[in-house]
Amino acid sequence: MSLIPQNLQAITATIVAAAQEAGRPPQSVQLLAVSKTFGPEAVLEAVEAGQRAFGENYLQEGLDKIRSLQEAGAPALEWHFIGPIQSNKTRPIAEHFSWVHTVEREKIAQRLSEQRPAGMAPLQICLQVNISGEASKSGVAPEELAALAHKVAALPNLTLRGLMAIPEPAVEFEQQRAAFARLRSLYEQLRADGLALDTLSMGMSADLRAAVVEGATIVRVGSAIFGSRHYS
């Protein structure tokens, strides 16, 4: 028997407890179920348990899943692209996703803006920040963020919603909090500078509580919902 419904309940309880600890309403935190490497049947189980927002890292896998779930008659779902973006992949992302969390260059934002189909709602955008300065991580450097944010906010067919980060892994709760606090500080600076941001996409299975305590509005949880990943 699948554990996905029970896992979703447990994660929701963790979010509620962390929000209460931070003095925040639990509904201010959205759970994004990260379904990469899991098939449409796993997503459907989560849908049947009430989950509606899903994150995909790999474009072709995500497109196949979106199509498969539409054909299966699933209710309207909110699809978030949360993987690295190459220039030649922007069109299908612009055509099939509601959110993109991983914009780090003006060129990518421009292409998403130009390729968003007429008649669709604006594409909701988060800028990915390399908050820990890791050479292996994607993301705009904090000192270059403000210039990029103002350029992206001015583009048509996009709505700049906020920031996203994947900090360097840390075991200690206070270390986890410190990285998320740095992202929140950048977010607050941009808001003070006149940008109407409302989204902090931060926190995954291992650092969920710290992220919520520091102000996450979207948490991206995969393995704690779907189980261990199987990479082929």
Q: Any idea which fold 4-226 has?
A: TIM Barrel (3.20.20)
Predicted pLDDT at 168: 93
Q: For the chain, give every domain's residue range.
A: 4-226
Predicted pLDDT at 216: 98
Predicted pLDDT at 133: 84
How many Cβ atoms from other residues are within 10 Å of residue 107's Cβ?
11
pLDDT above 70: percentage of residues in the chain:
98
For residue 180, give every residue at least 6 positions away whose Cβ sits within 8 Å of its Cβ, in sequence order, or none: 165, 167, 200, 202, 203, 207, 210, 211, 213, 214, 215, 216
Predicted pLDDT at 232: 60
Predicted pLDDT at 128: 98
Residues of the chain with pLDDT under 70: 1, 231-232
Predicted pLDDT at 2: 80
